Structure 1
């Protein structure tokens, strides 16, 4: 499968590396508004084609698919353009700013006979499969604590009075949208759609959340998610049941899985070795679904993305965090 990329940050280079490692995708083109930046990125990543016009790239017969890793608020309009040109789209998390964008984009994908995926690496990892298979060992679940907290160097700009994209409501930024989607996607993959959602954010002068605590309620248990871009955490994730506890190294990547037996106090390492470039697993799965036309697997990924977007949108709006994208009507 021949693909192009939109975005020239480290995450785009990481996806290119993962796609090559998968053996299922071939990089054909890169896009940037800046010819200099496009040329440099193409040279670094060995891309034969350069585009500085997005519509020209979308219409090109040289690519079958595109990976989009632009600022969050641009995902929707760029995805729509490529979908209308019958290109498969791999959109970096968070896939879209709100449910209305997500639903419309999936409609456009269906109308044009192509696939639309959210590129969120942890739900495709082998260790998530381990967790799903072994989860019953914990007995009746009573609580879970999932976290993703990582200090962003761009917060230093906020402290100086600036508004970088990732901390801007105009660009659909904030801790929940950027990092909270990792533990939230993990929770939804394991436990399904929550019955209740509450969010307690730390609101920055830019109007978005620098950190926050998201509480998801399920029948008989509560999942607490902490996310932050203004502080770090060294605490692992845990899932607590009446028979035992799962200790998870990270929400993304799911680096390790350990089971602690509540009665014997013994611990068993259950995790498997994963590729260091763990985005490879999503690349393999996207290519497989497209090549095999695996609708059940595709529909499940669509369902997961919708629950995550629905949850983050509810959490934001109830906390007074309004994105520019929320104010726009859709064509």
Structure 2
């Protein structure tokens, strides 16, 4: 538990991911929900009551004017992230933006510019790269004795979505809408893409073979990230499921990881001994329907309270590369959002 005063925060978006963030943030003792925004006042009130939060707003202007609120967690439809984050930053609030942070590199440039101007942080909520076992993996890929020269990698996150069933019925959920900056790549493909970028840096080039839904966005597909001496395959989808593990291939061994989020297994296979060694440590566990956001909540609180511009800058670097890569992959395949046409 923290001995410092908790960071007061408001939320925009009242879905399950916001519940997960609030639960995780409160668990750390370093955050305290202080305000809820929803377009419908009754909805905001009902959501806030779950956390004994009675300060509710149906106006963004009055929400951002709340002087008791230091930070804002935004988990609204993707296309609204930019305008809402911009308002928050100009009100001198720190911003935690659910992925994808924004629709285009240009929008992200603007948000980071405003954040620096106003003296606050804007952080994209990539929960998985804050996990303890992911940080272990970052160390392992640089250990000569474990992998040696890297020859390739395969990262997978493909899970059939109940909302894809709605698409098949002729409906257009927000996450499968061009208008709301949707599609599999930016919703769950962004996890393995970020997984690779945080490990290996910016690729030299990238290509994408998606399947396009009736709604005009991608329902999934295969991405190839080309690095100097190796390639990374990313298999992601909301229209089908894969049970494949993730792997990193090296001259001196192979690392096998159970997934790109909630890492419980990091096994090293040694070609010399033909044996495997488990390297993963204990991981944070949460009860469904929540997902693990505890480690990111701890790190983001540390950045905000400590004014750690260096750590925030590293996360900014990753976010800039991710949106550059994903925007390019979309545009290669004619998946264009309203923000692409501005």
Structure 1 counterpart of 2:152 = 143
User: Which residue of 24, 30, 38 maps to 1:32?
Assistant: 38
2:45·2:54 contact (CA, 8 Å) conserved in 1? no
1:268 maps to 2:274: no
Listed as ranges, the matches of 1:67-106 within 5 Å are 67-106=73-112
Would you say how many aligned residue pairs link Structure 1 and Structure 2? Answer: 328
Name the SS for the 1:138 alignment partner: coil
Structure 1 counterpart of 2:241 = 232
Structure 1: how far apart are the matches of 2:47 and 2:285? 22
Listed as ranges, the matches of 1:54-65 within 5 Å are 54-65=60-71
Structure 2 counterpart of 1:248 = 257
Structure 2: how far apart are the matches of 1:324 and 1:298? 29
1:145·1:224 contact (CA, 8 Å) conserved in 2? yes
Listed as ranges, the matches of 1:98-117 within 5 Å are 98-117=104-123
Structure 2: how far apart are the matches of 1:171 and 1:49? 28
Structure 2 counterpart of 1:202 = 211
- Deviation at residue 147 of structure 1 after TM alignment: 0.7
- Deviation at residue 107 of structure 1 after TM alignment: 0.5
- Deviation at residue 182 of structure 1 after TM alignment: 0.5
2:39·2:58 contact (CA, 8 Å) conserved in 1? yes
Structure 1 counterpart of 2:4 = none
Structure 1 counterpart of 2:3 = none
Structure 2's unaligned 5+ residue stretches are 1-6, 287-291
TM-score by length of 1: 0.97
1:249·1:257 contact (CA, 8 Å) conserved in 2? yes
Deviates more, 1:246-255 or 1:106-115: 246-255
Structure 1's unaligned 5+ residue stretches are none
User: Which residue of 325, 330, 341 maps to 1:311?
Assistant: 325
Structure 2: how far apart are the matches of 1:142 and 1:167? 35
1:13·1:45 contact (CA, 8 Å) conserved in 2? no
- Deviation at residue 254 of structure 1 after TM alignment: 2.2
Structure 1: how far apart are the matches of 2:152 and 2:63? 47
Structure 1 counterpart of 2:293 = 279
Structure 2: how far apart are the matches of 1:70 and 1:263? 50
Structure 2 counterpart of 1:192 = 201
Structure 2: how far apart are the matches of 1:256 and 1:282? 19
Structure 2: how far apart are the matches of 1:264 and 1:220? 26
Q: CA deviation digits over 1:101-127, x for unaligned, max 9?
A: 000011111111110000010111101
CA RMSD of aligned residues (A): 0.9
